[in-house]
A and B are shown apart, each in its own frame.
Chain A
């Protein structure tokens, strides 16, 4: 499937090969916060694994659900979001030129607001005033400072996101009629998704939880709060995966010495993710009363449409691999595979992430399968699932990214020994996750619940069997957790070394040359008003009637339960 080898060059776009140093600093602070959150988050995970397996007992001052909340918030929200923004600021500077002082200041303002929010929420988790898990669980009630912190977190990311989008649209304005650089296009699609999705969590936090936690309202509409949360909660996972896809589409082809297969298809995939990741939150609520089967099924169908951009992505990535392997002399059906740089952590870590995404995606299809969801809902299967998707596919891609992004923004070099350390990290993470997530999947099928501390249910034989399996056991989960923690600590060391101790030098920000089809990019794909309009129509279609029903036919609301979490 060779396409023409002539690399296409855009006419006279003065493309700076570097990240402007002021932008690099803004990117760097994001990366630093991300990795410190990562370290605390994985240590929380270690304690959970050991405690749940009955191997250790937590001290009285530390609750299982408290560290579960910390683990979820720090890894799923803080680590991912900060790293994504660090990546975006550096990448936009690299592909669209340096940020203007005004927009960079806006970026800093976003960083500061987000960080204040993070510290507020974290302080309440530490004080054990917020053990409501990051999915909130009204009518369990956390301290109002926790909700305020989360609101600031979201608003801060909107401010930073606005700076990035403004930078993109400024480029677009200055280059009328030209297709925009892929990096900016994809970052913008991701950020629009984040803003539109964030409206849901902002609505429930600002409109429901905060007034209720402050005592301004006595009651809360539980089903509405859950629905608004999941309106946000599912696109959140695309907010994690789309930047990982950006690494796959834009960085990996360059790392392996090739070029992206098709730019238009990449744009189309991102538009489809934007359209079909939001009107689908009900697939997290399939087992709930108060939402009719009809609307659940509608959202199930919309959920499955993301199969299409996923297939597009899988094709593009592997076509790029094959194209590159063949250009480098690989022959026959499979021998081009040997031409790929297997010893380069910048390729290998994301590649392992891609490999894991095959079973992870298949598991996702099972979860969303309407009535079949009853078998796995809220079991450890689901935890196993998202430790493959976000916890391996996204994380390993971000690990791979760290090995060039950090040296780029700190003006250092990736050394051979650091590359080796990254390879070891990748293997350890993969092995640890195989044990932990594998055991979680099977335990889930046997009915073991998620979000549950160590328990044998008064030594009920069924619950005891969850500790007794050869592979399918909480003990395997704990062992996997220990290996993952070792990998995580090693990654933290890698981060420290790359950030402050690696030898000074020039590092390239790897970015694929524009694909052959760039000049033929359909103008329609760049019509953001159209896509946002369609996204809004789909959301209104999927949510208006059920939400109207939830409000008009609401049962009496729930009072606050804030003693149950301490």
Chain B
């Protein structure tokens, strides 16, 4: 099979950049821990009262770190508001009690799928005070566009 000289240059450049690009993604992921949310814990979505999600809410872990256990449901979240001081890091552990949802804070990198039976996890540091909107960006039924909660970040 004949490869034209220009085509060889074109492919070498293309494949070379591809390898470099994938290496950057891989190093960021496996050396610096910038991984997509891929938590492996599972729960019984129909019996959340027997799990750590029986009483969802905010726990303070240390001075500026919190854990927020949140249950996504049609059409909202439990709890529907959490309040933290600016500068706090929040570890979000979220599951669903019914169908597939998402837990998404527009304007941040917090954006993960919430599938029933699984707990998904991510964290975010809120440096700026304000009222953050949390929305579901995965279709979950006729009231999907009403599904939201708030994160109050106090100064």
Contacts and interface: CB of A to CB of B under 8 A. Distances in A.
Interface of A: 1, 3, 63-65, 131, 133, 137-140, 222-223, 226, 262, 264-265, 268, 285-293, 296-297, 300-301, 304, 307-308, 311-312, 315, 319, 365, 369-375, 377-379, 446-455, 457-458, 460, 462-463, 517, 520-522, 553-559, 561, 564-566
B22 interface: yes
A457 B117 contact: no
Interface residues of B, number: 69
B111 A371 contact: no
A522 B14 CA distance: 24
For B39, B74, B135, B140, which residue has the most chain A Cβ atoms within 10 angstroms?
B135
B145 A63 contact: no
A285 B102 CA distance: 12
A289 B29 contact: no
Interface string B112-155: 11111111110000000001010111111111111010000000
B142 A565 contact: yes
B152 to A, nearest CB: 13
Contacts of B38: 288-293, 296
A265 B1 contact: yes
A296 B105 CA distance: 23
A564 B100 CA distance: 12
B27 to A, nearest CB: 11
B111 A378 contact: yes
Interface stretch (B41-49, B52-60, B63-71): B41-49
Contacts, number: 231
Given A65-B142, A371-B28, A378-B137, A311 B10 contact: yes
A453 B119 contact: no
Contact of A226 (B14, B18, B115): B115
Given A131-B142, A222-B100, A265-B1, A450 B107 contact: no
A217 B110 CA distance: 35
Contact of B148 (A447, A453, A457): A457
Interface in B71-127: 74, 98-100, 102, 104-107, 109-121
Given A370-B25, A371-B34, A564-B141, A288 B120 contact: yes
A457 B143 CA distance: 12
B31 interface: no
A287 B144 contact: no
> 5 tightest A-B contacts by CB?
A447-B106, A564-B141, A555-B117, A449-B137, A555-B42
